[in-house]
């Protein structure tokens, strides 16, 4: 929340030293950052000692919350044993091997090999390189374009940001790069036409995708990438039958289907994978975030045997497989990935999320009649409340008013952290949250919603 008071010493040191991601830099000098000091469970505490419920699991990633003793012990033991090594030149490490075995075991489709990265952005960047490499191996040098979707989020490297379909990731950055296409966003509330049923909406999107493929030329398109449930685009859940409608079109033209499970994976949707929640059958998979419950950076790309064999054949022609990262498969991250999956399995985290989902949905639905709320949506323990200026017409607020961002600031005042994605307020609490803590998060959200309604009315922000 903007403050008229001078910045604290730690705030000033931050402003003087750090270039903040996804931050209005022109406002930071005046407002100062919210500096966190420590955390436990689902609670974080700033350097002034104020408590907040962490309603976003950090950045969709801290599924086990903060301070899990088993995770801390696993990290400590690995640092004592082998703090770092790499996988280049045929080297191996037990944590990397064990984690790959676990990922193959729980994958939603048959997987042969796991390639490690340091993040979800790197995983999706790698997906593009691997799709190119695969088609070169098969003697199809023109089959290189990648289809993503409007409002998709796939990361911030040059290629991953190009795949992303959000304006702030392109404006000012000279993106997207050539060869990246964006098809329709499957958000029925926002993009369904007047009088169009959800089934008709799905058919229209499938027809539009087919038209794009035929217009561009099927022999030029390598892959289609999609989040099962779109995260940073606003927690957008596709209509029933969406993937069933588009996948036959992709397979007909031998287009790889990439599931970006970076946010969806490891129980978040009430399934091990978001793909299982929405009926998606991918060729390859990107994973990160809850892979280690954010206790260390790690990403992974999961590939099937036939795709892997093409890599092998091309490596034999060229002389090596020339791709990799210094920290890809870092033993600390892999050991924490092994432990996180073990905990998810032992604590039945998928069933736990399913058990909490009715409460989560009920609290979302409770605010649907509020004058500011246009739509609520969720899949498991990820959801969103979309704010609108006019419920009847679904008219959005002028982005310049920053209504969603203002609600997030009011919420911090009430002791909770959620994320404003434009005027959609995203929820993604740690999966260990209790029912009482979840209800308290929503109680604090409703207080901030009331503050926002007062702010909107006082400043006449509904005016066109």
Q: What is the pLDDT of residues 268-284, one digit of tens each?
A: 999 999 999 999 999 99
**30 pLDDT tier (thresholds 50, 70, 90):** confident
Same domain (yes/no): 340, 352: no
How many Cβ atoms from other residues are within 10 Å of residue 322's Cβ? Answer: 9
- pLDDT at residue 431 greater than cutoff 80: yes
> What gap in Å lies between CA 260 and CA 231, rounded to an integer?
10
> What gap in Å lies between CA 63 and CA 289, rounded to an integer?
9
What's the whole-number mean pLDDT along residues 18-46? 93
What's the whole-number mean pLDDT along residues 27-43? 93
Tokens of 61: 């990633």
Q: What is the pLDDT of residue 31?
A: 87
Q: For the chain, what percent of residues have pLDDT higher than 70?
A: 99
Same domain (yes/no): 291, 389: no
In a domain, 28, yes or no: no
Burial 356-394 (b: 16+ CB within 10 A, else e): bbebbeebbeebeebebbbbbbbbbbbbbbbbbbeeeee
Same domain (yes/no): 172, 303: yes
pTM of the model: 0.96
> What gap in Å lies between CA 236 and CA 377, rounded to an integer?
7
Tokens of 367: 């605010």
**418 pLDDT tier (thresholds 50, 70, 90):** very high
Residues in Cβ contact with 221 at an 8 Å cutoff, skipping those fewer than 6 apart: 143, 145, 146, 147, 181, 213, 253, 255
In a domain, 263, yes or no: yes
In a domain, 13, yes or no: no
Same domain (yes/no): 267, 209: yes
What's the whole-number mean pLDDT along residues 94-101? 98
In a domain, 463, yes or no: no
Point out the domain boundary residue: 320, 346, 372.
346
For tokens 């999609």, the residue is 226
The whole domain housing 118 covers 70-346
Q: What is the pLDDT of residue 2?
A: 44
> What gap in Å lies between CA 133 and CA 126, rounded to an integer?
10
Judge contact between 242 and 205, C-beta under 8 A: yes
How does the average pLDDT of the chain come out, rounded? Answer: 97
Same domain (yes/no): 291, 407: no
- pLDDT at residue 435 greater than cutoff 60: yes
In a domain, 96, yes or no: yes
Point out the domain boundary residue: 346, 380, 404.
346
- pLDDT at residue 344 greater than cutoff 70: yes
Point out the domain boundary residue: 303, 321, 346.
346
Same domain (yes/no): 161, 221: yes
- pLDDT at residue 3 greater than cutoff 80: no
Give the chain's domain count. Answer: 2
Nearest to 441 by CA among 41, 30, 167: 41
In a domain, 25, yes or no: no
Crossing angle of helices 435-458 and 403-413, in 10° steps, is 130
Same domain (yes/no): 373, 312: no
Same domain (yes/no): 196, 325: yes
CATH number reported for the structural domain that contains residue 52 in this entry: 3.90.1150.10
- pLDDT at residue 1 greater than cutoff 50: no
Same domain (yes/no): 225, 261: yes
Judge contact between 341 and 358, C-beta under 8 A: no
Q: pLDDT tens digits, residue range 143-180?
A: 999 999 999 999 999 999 999 999 999 999 999 999 99
What's the whole-number mean pLDDT along residues 181-203? 98
- pLDDT at residue 107 greater than cutoff 50: yes
Judge contact between 285 and 112, C-beta under 8 A: no
Same domain (yes/no): 213, 155: yes
In a domain, 361, yes or no: yes
Same domain (yes/no): 81, 58: no
Q: What is the pLDDT of residue 4?
A: 57
**234 pLDDT tier (thresholds 50, 70, 90):** very high
CATH number reported for the structural domain that contains residue 89 in this entry: 3.40.640.10
Judge contact between 136 and 310, C-beta under 8 A: no
Same domain (yes/no): 327, 366: no
In a domain, 18, yes or no: no
């Amino acid at each position: 929340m903007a403050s008229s008071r001078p910045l604290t010493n730690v705030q000033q040191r931050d402003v003087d030293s750090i270039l903040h991601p996804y931050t209005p830099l022109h406002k930071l000098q005046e407002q100062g950052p919210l500096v966190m000091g420590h955390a436990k469970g689902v609670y974080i505490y700033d350097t002034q000692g104020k408590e907040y419920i962490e309603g976003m699991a950090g950045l969709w990633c801290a599924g086990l919350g903060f301070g899990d003793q088993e995770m801390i012990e696993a990290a400590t033991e690995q640092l004592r044993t082998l703090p770092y090594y790499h996988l280049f030149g045929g080297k191996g490490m037990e944590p990397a091997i064990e984690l790959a075995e676990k990922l193959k075991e729980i994958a939603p489709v048959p997987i042969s090999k796991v390639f490690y990265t340091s993040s979800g952005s790197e995983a999706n960047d790698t997906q593009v390189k691997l799709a190119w490499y695969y088609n070169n191996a098969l003697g199809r040098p023109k089959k290189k374009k990648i289809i993503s979707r409007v409002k998709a989020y796939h990361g911030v490297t040059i290629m991953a940001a190009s795949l992303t379909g959000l304006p702030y990731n392109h404006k000012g950055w000279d993106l997207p790069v050539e060869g990246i296409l964006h098809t329709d966003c499957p958000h029925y509330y926002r993009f369904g036409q007047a009088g169009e049923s959800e089934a008709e909406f799905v058919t229209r999107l499938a027809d539009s995708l087919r038209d794009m493929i035929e217009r561009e030329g099927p022999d030029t398109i390598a892959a289609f990438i999609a989040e099962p449930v779109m995260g940073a685009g606003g927690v957008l859940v596709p209509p029933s039958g969406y993937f069933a409608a588009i996948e036959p079109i992709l397979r007909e033209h031998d287009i790889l289907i990439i599931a970006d499970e970076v946010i969806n994976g490891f129980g978040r949707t009430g399934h091990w994978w978001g793909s299982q929640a929405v009926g998606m059958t991918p060729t390859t998979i990107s994973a990160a975030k809850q892979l280690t419950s954010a206790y260390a950076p790690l990403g992974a790309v999961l590939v099937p045997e036939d795709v892997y064999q093409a890599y092998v054949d091309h490596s034999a022609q060229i002389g090596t497989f020339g791709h990799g990262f210094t920290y890809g498969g870092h033993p600390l991250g892999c050991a924490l990935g092994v432990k996180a999956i073990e905990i998810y399995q032992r604590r039945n985290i998928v069933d736990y999320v399913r058990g909490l989902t009715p409460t989560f949905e009920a609290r979302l639905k409770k605010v649907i009649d509020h004058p500011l709320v246009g739509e609520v949506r969720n899949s498991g323990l990820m959801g969103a409340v979309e704010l609108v200026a006019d419920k009847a017409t679904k008219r959005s607020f002028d982005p310049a008013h920053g209504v969603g961002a203002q609600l997030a600031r009011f919420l911090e005042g009430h002791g909770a952290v959620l994320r404003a994605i434009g005027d959609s307020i995203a929820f993604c609490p740690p999966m260990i949250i209790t029912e009482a803590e979840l209800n308290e998060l929503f109680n604090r959200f409703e207080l901030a919603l009331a503050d926002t309604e007062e702010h909107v009315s006082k400043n006449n922000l509904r005016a066109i």
